[in-house]
Amino acid sequence: MLNKVNQTIVSQKITQKICDDGFVLIENILSIHELKRIRQLIKNHFRHHGVVANSGLTQPNAAVEVPEINWLFYHPKILAVMGQLLGQEQIMFTSHCDVHCRTLSAWHKDDGMKVMEGGYFGFPAYDQEDCKVYKVALYLQDHDRNKAGLTVRKGSHKLSDINQGEEVYLKTKGGDAIIFDVRLTHTGQQDIYPVEFLEKPNAVIKKGLNKVLKISSQTTEQYLKKIYDGLFGDRLSIFFTYGLPNEYTKNFAINNMKRQLEQNKNSNLFMSEETKQKFLENNVVLAEEYFKQLKQ
């Protein structure tokens, strides 16, 4: 157990690290029991719901659409870490939550610059110090022996060019959390094969099927992805976002919610009264207070 002085040193270190590098990795934030529970809830959800995206399934606006997982958003350990990173007890929950199943990814930032004019902040906010909007990424299985977890570009939350910044692959175990600045350049699993030793066989199979059976490489990729998904299991992940209670976080939340609604093709904006109460009890203010303007 850490004593109080050591705890303070650890928390100062991670607060400095997220400011400098744009990300931190916190091990074992969920217990094995919690991990099992959340995996089951998400698997059940994707049996009948979700939006087809990035070669897999995604559920945007999961804070509203999947109320069964709301306990995660006021999980004591997650709130304690967010409070430390944001440097104050009162923080804001943005209502952003995307849940993914078997999706692929490419280098991007989550500041919405590719989604709308000026991005979710309304302008490129790479040099703004008060802009502290941090995303929690939970990968719900181990990624310490494959390359299907999160890769980030260190320090890139201060840079607009997505090709800049040292590439760092984050070896996570199920139950760990990565917390990163939404302006950080990052990518999830980019290739259909999640481990390096399949790179060559994959290329040979693709070429062979393409040449001999005249199957297009896109169709081949779809078949191979199914096989790899079957072999390596469902790759599940959850992303949700908090920030300092200020204009940056408010604008991020409102504009990000527009994107989530667009993807879901609905206008479900608000969490339940019970969930709201839980947040308030934990000193978390809700960006959804500002969503009234999104009502049609």
Ligand X SMILES: O=C(O)CCC(=O)C(=O)O
User: Looking at 100-108, 210-218, 244-252, 281-289, which segment touches ligand X (CB under 6 A)?
Assistant: 100-108
Q: Look-up: residue for tokens 């929950």?
A: 93
Q: Which of Fe ion, ligand X, none binds 61 (CB below 5-8 Å, type-dependent)? A: none
Closest residue to bound Fe ion by CB: 110
- Which residues ranging from 195 to 254 are in contact with Fe ion (CB under 5 A)? none
**Is there binding between residue 239 and ligand X (CB under 6 A)?**
yes
Nearer to ligand X, 57 or 224 (CB): 57
Report the residue from 98, 176, 181, 288 that binds ligand X according to the rule CB under 6 A.
98
Nearer to Fe ion, 228 or 239 (CB): 239
**Is there binding between residue 237 and ligand X (CB under 6 A)?**
yes
User: Looking at 12-20, 97-105, 124-132, 253-261, which segment touches ligand X (CB under 6 A)?
Assistant: 97-105
Strands 51-53 and 56-59, bridge-based pairing = antiparallel
The answer to whether 73 touches 63, Cβ cutoff 8 Å, is: yes
The answer to whether 53 touches 103, Cβ cutoff 8 Å, is: yes
Q: Which of Fe ion, ligand X, none binds 188 (CB below 5-8 Å, type-dependent)? A: ligand X
User: Looking at 38-46, 75-83, 103-111, 208-216, which segment touches ligand X (CB under 6 A)?
Assistant: 103-111
Closest residue to bound ligand X by CB: 188
**Is there binding between residue 110 and ligand X (CB under 6 A)?**
yes
| Nearest to 110, CA basis, from 268, 286, 253 | 253
Integer angstrom CA distances of residue 41 from 23, 75, 80, 160: 27, 16, 24, 37
Nearer to ligand X, 239 or 248 (CB): 239
Least distance (Å) from ligand X to the CB of residue 135? 8
Report the residue from 100, 132, 143, 183 that binds ligand X according to the rule CB under 6 A.
100
Q: What is the 3-state secondary structure (H, E, C) of 239-259?
A: EEEEECCCHHHHHHHHHHHHH
Least distance (Å) from ligand X to the CB of residue 237? 5
Q: Look-up: residue for tokens 């667009």?
A: 262
Q: Look-up: residue for tokens 């209502």?
A: 95
The DSSP annotation for 14-36 comes to: HHHHHHHHSEEEETT-S-HHHHH
**Is there binding between residue 288 and Fe ion (CB under 5 A)?**
no
**Is there binding between residue 102 and ligand X (CB under 6 A)?**
no
The answer to whether 192 touches 230, Cβ cutoff 8 Å, is: no
Cα separation, 243 vs 255, in Å, equals 14
The answer to whether 189 touches 172, Cβ cutoff 8 Å, is: no
Report the residue from 21, 98, 110, 111 that binds Fe ion according to the rule CB under 5 A.
110
Cα separation, 207 vs 217, in Å, equals 8
Q: Which of Fe ion, ligand X, none binds 237 (CB below 5-8 Å, type-dependent)? A: ligand X
Q: Which residues are at the interface with Fe ion (CB under 5 A)? A: 110
Q: Which residues are at the interface with ligand X (CB under 6 A)? A: 98, 100, 103, 105, 110, 150, 186, 188, 237, 239
